[in-house]
């Protein structure tokens, strides 16, 4: 078995990891374990501070240009089809999120007037509309896999 070199994970990376484990536990109907993973996720979540849409957009652009190609190269060298499949979904979702932010930056609040925001629980795809799409355009999950995001009132 090949040893994989790992780096120290940031607090937010650990939060995401624990959040994913919580979601997996929920799907397995292991609710006590889900609650434990969720608490760990919350404990490790860092505040995004004053991050705004231009900052988030810049990070998405950087990730698309640097992170995805690097991870793809590594996964291809290991012939890891699972990582490559997840990478395709992640890159699609990141591209869509960047596009949504670009549209929001150009149109402002009018982009969301009369619309709700939904997230695909399977892959993270974000959708702004009046109802969920029949199928997720990224992972093909049915509309039942979408959750409405509650946007706090301003």
Name the pTM for this structure.
0.61
Structure confidence at residue 127 as a pLDDT band (50, 70, 90):
confident
State how far the Cα of 50 lies from the Cα of 60, in Å rounded to an integer: 16
- Per domain, the residue ranges of the chain are 9-46, 48-108, 114-154
Q: Which residues, including other chains, have CB under 8 Å from residue 24's CB and lie 6 or more apart?
A: none
| pLDDT score for 49 | 56
* β partners of residue 149: 117
- The CATH number given to 114-154 is 2.20.28.10
Residues forming a β-bridge with 45:
none
Task: Give the tens place of pLDDT for each residue, 32-67.
Answer: 988 988 888 888 776 655 558 888 889 889 989 998
- Tell me what pLDDT residue 151 has: 62
């Amino acid at each position: 078995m090949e040893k994989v070199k790992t780096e120290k994970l940031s607090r937010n990376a650990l939060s995401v990891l624990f959040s994913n484990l919580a979601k997996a536990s929920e799907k397995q109907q292991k609710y006590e374990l889900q609650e434990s993973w969720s608490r760990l996720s919350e404990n490790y979540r860092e505040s995004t501070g004053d991050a705004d849409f231009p900052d988030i957009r810049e990070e998405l652009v950087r990730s698309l240009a640097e992170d995805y190609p690097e991870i793809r190269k590594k996964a291809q060298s290991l012939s890891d089809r699972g990582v490559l499949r997840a990478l395709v979904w992640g890159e699609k979702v990141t591209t869509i999120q960047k596009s949504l932010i670009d549209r929001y930056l150009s149109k402002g609040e009018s982009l969301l007037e009369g619309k709700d925001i939904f997230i695909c629980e399977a892959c993270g795809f974000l959708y702004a509309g009046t109802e969920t799409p029949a199928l997720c355009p990224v992972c093909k999950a049915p509309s039942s896999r979408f959750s409405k995001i509650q946007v706090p009132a301003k």
